[in-house]
Amino acid sequence: MTQEKWSQLRQRLLKTVGQNNYTTWIEPLEFDELEGGVAVFHVPTNFMGNYVSQNFADLILHELSLSGEPVQRLSFRVAANSPVRPARSAERAEEPFQELTDQHAELENPTQRAAGTVVNKMETLQAAPLDPRFTFDSFVVGKPNELAHAAARRVAEGGPVTFNPLVLYGGVGLGKTHLMHAIAWELTARKPDLNVLYLSAEQFMYRFVQALRERRMMDFKHLFRSVDVLMVDDVQFIAGKGSTQEEFFHTFNALVDQNKQIIISADRAPGEIKDLEDRVKSRLQCGLVVDLHPTDYELRLGILQTKVKQYGATYPGLQIADGVLEFLAHRISTNVRVLEGALTRLFAFASLVGREIDMDLTQDCLADVLRASERKITVEEIQRKVSDYYNIRMSDIIGPKRLRSFARPRQVAMYLSKQLTSRSLPEIGRRFGGRDHTTVMHGVKRIEELKQTDGQIAEDVEMLRRALEA
């Protein structure tokens, strides 16, 4: 088979597999020879050869057969000079992966360079910018995030790697990205020569696909495996993307083998990420996995008080009435970003109209936010979710039976009803078979006590809360 015939065959494959698959997997194939019924192709990497063999070999064999070529099987070999093209000049060879050149490399201050995100030696790779607002000093610590904060602080000291990887997970707006940026800033300040790379999982996938397309996988591997600290945000993004997970897995192993620090964030625990390969889950779970719990009232109030102090310089003389911060901390309970955004809007509006921030102004200015933040979870929904979780009938939760296997789930449902709905204790009692409000009060108090001493109850309550708020 001639090269011209292979080119014609590739055009037919383009129509069959589509432009994206063609560009990524078919175009990089270089026909070498046809001997003994075996068509030999050169590929940039073993991974590409394996992927094409598993997903496109039958199609290629079919097209070759239609072309009259006596081919029985395909063979893929990594070219001796791959992935660097022979025609590359010496100047190009000294600038691997030039398309990823850090546009902030001219910054002289190492802290400024961190904002460009890859520090010092890794200036050939542009990653995600760091937000200068996200430091440890601006992070408000409370019971829901104190463990995550302590673990992040330990890693940011840059000492010996004690747990690898560090995985921070939690819902939207709970501080994962803030802690990731804070770690990067602190490491950069403590050790300016350290190679710290922070990027999102989506950026990792994009760089990987780009490297495959341009046949520069060796450059990609060198760049990602020569860092001292790799930080990947929102790792759940690579779930279901087999080839990206494959490369992430090998990058992860290579860095761990070199005792380099890896820090990961996700929106849920590694074991709960759907379509994430088991081997990737296993690697992520082998280090320290820390949950950022939903904020409690005290933490939300602390965040608001900190933001008010910061706004003091921007809005001097602006007064905020007693009870406003407490009202916001109570009403906006699910997302810190929404909470901070509401406060920002409130200060801006009050400064424009020249009024004190009181309850009337707050309710007028934030009417849409307050409506969206109203709790819509019902007691009946909680009862149904709890009964499914504990594998009992809903009638057992509402009914009179006092067996422990029914009483404890009933108390959990009462506790969640008190926390997640606006129903009063008597109203909750009526929905639990007409029980007295003192029974509900006792159940709520009992679960609050058990959460401090019984890890299983604490985990059950947290899992149910997440499921209900999802």
**For 175, which DSSP code?**
S
**Any idea which residue has 């921007």 for tokens?**
314
Helix 379-389 and helix 404-420, axial crossing angle in degrees, nearest 10: 140
Question: Please, which residues bridge with residue 199 across strands?
Answer: 232
Among candidate residues 127, 170, 173, the one with its CA nearest the CA of residue 264: 170
Query: What's the one-letter identity of residue 229?
Result: V
d(CA 220, CA 205): 11
- Confirm or deny that 176 is annotated as ligand binding: yes
Question: Is 226 buried (19+), middle (13-18) or exposed (0-12) by CB count in 10 A?
Answer: middle
**Any idea which residue has 């940039």 for tokens?**
44
User: Are 362 and 324 in contact, with CB atoms under 8 Å apart?
Assistant: yes
Q: Kindly list the distances between the CA atom of residue 248 and the CA atoms of 97, 100, 181, in Å, as whole numbers in the listed order.
A: 18, 18, 21
Query: What's the one-letter identity of residue 333?
Result: S
User: Are 224 and 122 in contact, with CB atoms under 8 Å apart?
Assistant: no
d(CA 193, CA 374): 49
d(CA 245, CA 34): 33
First to last CA, the chain: 57
| Peptide bond connecting 83 to the previous residue in cis, omega within 30 degrees of 0 | yes
User: Are 379 and 421 in contact, with CB atoms under 8 Å apart?
Assistant: yes
Reported residue count of the chain is: 470
- Confirm or deny that 173 is annotated as ligand binding: yes
Question: Please, which residues bridge with residue 195 across strands?
Answer: none
Put the strands of the sheet holding 73-78 in their side by side order.
Answer: 30-35, 38-43, 73-78
Among candidate residues 123, 146, 150, 77, the one with its CA nearest the CA of residue 227: 123
Annotated binding site for ATP: 173, 175-177
Annotated binding site: 173, 175-177
